[in-house]
Amino acid sequence: MTVTYEPRGVCSRLMRIEEENGIIKSVEVVGGCNGNLQGISRLVEGMRVEDAISRMEGIHCGSKGTSCPDQLAQALKQLT
């Protein structure tokens, strides 16, 4: 299954996630801090969706009430 998500409150503009049998196969993020988001994407590939959500949900970026990892967790929730 593939989900396309438009993050809110962060610099990234679009997230595309491919999942198969509860495992994250690929993550593509458009916009935001390119190097950091490439690193996060590679770290979660191969991870169980639920595990990735529990590790990233609730992370804040500065005074924002969210972050790119938190928004990625929100996107992943659409797969559960």
Asked if pLDDT for residue 80 goes beyond 90, the answer is: no
Question: Quick check: 3 and 17 in contact, CB under 8 A?
Answer: yes
Pairing status of strand 2-5 against strand 12-20: antiparallel
Give the model confidence (pLDDT) of 67-76 as tens digits. Answer: 999 999 999 9
pTM score of the predicted model: 0.94
Q: Which domains does the chain show, CATH number per domain?
A: 2-77 (3.30.390)
